[in-house]
């Protein structure tokens, strides 16, 4: 995320009484630039696994490809299913990675077009890939493309974060989340970063 955008986001959110204490207490968010294909490969590998297990499989997967830091779509298409299984990938995830790679190669997915596309257009673009749904697309928008105003209403961490920060009796549904987030716009991505950190704090304190 450009420093200017992040500064504007922090200034805007600091005016909100729910976020001002979080911004004072927590470190400034960091958004690291990532290659779109690499980010989507990682997202598929990490789905429904603990961070440690997924990290181990991801590292083994990368070692299948010699003399490169990350495989290209063509390399993933060419590597055998047996080799991919040998590093711990399920048959389902192998099919997802193959499909992702094929769609990058045949032009179904065109990352060079992302800068001119809206958030919703990118979501629709990405869910053409097997194994990529709206939540994965939202994470991609936030942490790979650094779009500043993404609100992943299906994310349990954001639901819990809103419940905690806004002192709600129950987890908010999507409609309530959108209503709550209205004053945070157009910087919902940065607000979500703080909501996740708020939950991290509570888990460390044993409150959840």
200 is an active site residue: no
Range 115-136 average pLDDT:
95
Nearest-angstrom CA–CA distance, 99 and 26: 39
Which pLDDT value is given to residue 203?
55
> What value does the mean pLDDT of the chain take?
92
Query: Among positive and negative, which fits the CA dihedral 181, 22, 196, 139?
Result: positive
Domains, the chain, with CATH or none = 3-31+150-204 (1.10.1670.40), 36-143 (1.10.340.30)
Q: What is the pLDDT of residues 102-117, one digit of tens each?
A: 999 999 999 999 999 9
Q: Which of 119, 149, 155, 200 is catalytic?
A: 155
Using only C-alpha atoms, what is the Rg of the chain?
19
Q: Which residues contact 168 (CB under 8 A, 6 or more apart)?
A: 162
Q: What is the pTM of this model?
A: 0.88
Q: Give the pLDDT mean for 125-135.
A: 94
| Closest by CA position to 165, among listed 16, 30, 29, 28 | 16
């Amino acid at each position: 995320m450009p420093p200017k955008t992040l500064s504007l986001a922090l200034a805007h959110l600091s005016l909100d009484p729910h976020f001002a204490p979080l911004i004072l207490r927590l470190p400034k968010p960091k958004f690291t630039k990532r290659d779109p294909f690499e980010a989507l490969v990682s997202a598929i590998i990490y789905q429904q696994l603990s961070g440690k297990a997924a990290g181990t499989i991801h590292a083994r997967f990368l070692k299948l490809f010699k003399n490169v830091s990350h495989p290209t779509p063509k390399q993933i298409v060419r590597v055998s299913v047996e080799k991919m299984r040998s590093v711990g990938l399920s048959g389902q995830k192998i099919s997802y990675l193959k499909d992702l790679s094929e769609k990058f190669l045949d032009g179904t997915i065109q990352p060079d077009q992302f800068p001119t596309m809206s958030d919703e257009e990118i979501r629709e673009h990405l869910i053409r890939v097997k194994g990529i749904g709206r939540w994965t697309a939202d994470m991609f928008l936030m942490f790979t493309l650094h779009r500043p105003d993404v609100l992943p209403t299906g994310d349990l961490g954001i639901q819990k974060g809103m419940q905690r920060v806004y002192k709600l009796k129950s987890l908010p549904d999507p409609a309530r989340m959108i209503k709550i987030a209205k004053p945070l716009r157009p910087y919902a991505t940065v607000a979500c970063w703080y909501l996740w950190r708020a939950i991290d704090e509570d888990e460390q304190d044993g409150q959840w």
